[in-house]
């Protein structure tokens, strides 16, 4: 909804966030109701960028967290808002590009999109009345990020030597190759089971903060395993 | 505005606050637009109480903090949201009745009302774009209060559903199988390089906290990838 985009922009700019990326917005873009709702925020931030799919939107990112209300059948770390803000800030200080991902208000995030993220964020609310709208979720996360400006230490570090964290685009190429080869190997028992199986496999890899070098290694692993096939 | 009262109730109940006191609301009370805006929150909290003046509303309180955007010409402590939440919570534990006070959206809090409060709260925002509405200010403070209640939750959790974390023995079997197959596929370029490559591959998997089910899936992945080999 245009209104939600405007509310997001307003919430973001209050806490100094300005890189807004829209994935296939229902009401199109630009949108007058978004502009009305943003009370001038769009005049003080770069033009939001528009993408067809989430993959494209996060292609140049290294670490992404998605807010979600529901528990997922995916093995993926779940952060509190504060822990998420700490993690995102520490990674930004290490020159990683990070992203916060929010689903559409009514439908939330699709599982296939959640599977692309490094982790999830759940905002703890009253179990008897959980009714945060999209703008409010953005506001709370923007606030927590703003609270972190000034802190630089990671609770847990992952030294990766000379190898940089992989870009999402490289990781997605790897997933596509792996899944094609698994399809060829009749790994997916049925078309109905495939999406869930794909999500589970992607989750194993997205949560381990792979480096560029490691993804190249994984390509080598696939090549070696399929090596005896004709034509390879 | 009725809408603002509804947004406040909704924000409060999300974080388990239910004692709403209204001082001389412009649109009167009860108010249909408030009810519409609260998406059911009023059904799950006691009826808001109505007062003519702020003095009356906070008459039974011991400690009160008012949010304000502007600096006041009053000598009065100014709290960050988090420090305010800590203070209010600590005093509540000492059986003090505490209150958070919010002014009308357009006019803010009158100086005579601010003078009645024990202290002020300023929410730090972007100096070039400070545009929190009333409901958003209530949301942030309710969130910070909720953060103070009980700290038993882990910052980061990894929900794994029914699948238990894998035992090291199972993981090692998987490694051995993978490495045997990689050897067969001429993955290791030389005997000298092999130990380092093995370590790197193992590290990718050991750091992602794999579950039992996931390791079974990975066995399936290997089987699918080598599927065309004779004898498998």
pLDDT score for A159: 58
CA distances from A93 to A15, A59, A80 (A): 18, 19, 20
Q: Please give the average per-residue pLDDT across A35-58, as a whole number.
A: 94
Confidence of residue B105 (pLDDT cuts 50, 70, 90): confident
Chain A residues close to B186, C-beta within 8 Å: 224, 227
What phi, psi does B34 have (nearest 5°)? -65, -45
Does the pLDDT at position B219 exceed 80? yes
pLDDT score for A157: 53
Spatial CB neighbours of B19, under 8 Å, sequence gap ≥ 6: B46
pLDDT score for A158: 57
Q: For residue range B28-87, what is the model confidence (pLDDT) as tens digits?
A: 999 999 999 999 999 999 999 999 999 899 988 888 899 987 766 667 788 889 889 988
pTM: 0.77
Does the pLDDT at position B221 exceed 90? yes
pLDDT score for A75: 79
Closest by CA to B24, choosing from B104, B100, B97, B99, is B104
Confidence of residue B154 (pLDDT cuts 50, 70, 90): low
| Shortest alpha-carbon distance between residue B221 and chain A (Å) | 7
Q: For residue range B184-205, what is the model confidence (pLDDT) as tens digits?
A: 999 998 999 898 888 888 888 8
Q: Which residue of B has its CA nearest to A76?
A: B158
| Shortest alpha-carbon distance between residue B205 and chain A (Å) | 8
Chain B residues close to A67, C-beta within 8 Å: none
Token pair in block for residue B46: 């006691």
CA–CA dist B224, A86 (Å, integer): 40
Q: Please give the average per-residue pLDDT across A48-59, as a whole number.
A: 93
What ipTM is given for this predicted complex?
Answer: 0.72
pLDDT score for A163: 78
């Amino acid at each position: 909804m245009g209104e939600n985009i405007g509310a997001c922009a307003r919430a973001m700019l209050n806490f100094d966030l300005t890189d807004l990326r829209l994935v296939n917005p229902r009401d199109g873009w630009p949108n007058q109701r978004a502009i009305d709702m943003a009370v001038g925020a769009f005049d003080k931030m770069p033009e939001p960028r528009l993408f067809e799919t989430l993959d494209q939107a996060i292609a140049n990112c290294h670490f992404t967290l998605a807010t979600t209300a529901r528990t997922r059948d995916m093995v993926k770390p779940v952060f509190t808002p504060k822990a998420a803000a700490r993690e995102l800030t520490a990674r930004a200080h290490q020159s990683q590009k990070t992203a916060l991902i929010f689903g559409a208000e009514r439908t939330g995030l699709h599982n296939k999109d959640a599977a692309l993220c490094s982790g999830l964020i759940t905002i703890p609310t009253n179990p008897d009345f959980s009714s945060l709208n999209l703008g409010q979720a953005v506001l709370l996360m923007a606030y927590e990020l703003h609270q972190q400006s000034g802190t630089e230490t990671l609770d847990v570090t992952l030294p990766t030597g000379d190898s940089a964290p992989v870009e999402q685009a490289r990781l997605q190429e790897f997933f596509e190759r792996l899944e094609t080869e698994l399809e060829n190997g009749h790994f997916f028992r049925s078309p109905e089971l495939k999406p869930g199986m794909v999500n589970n496999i992607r989750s194993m890899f997205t949560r381990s903060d792979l480096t560029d070098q490691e993804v190249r290694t994984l390509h080598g692993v696939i090549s070696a395993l399929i090596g005896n096939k004709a034509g390879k």
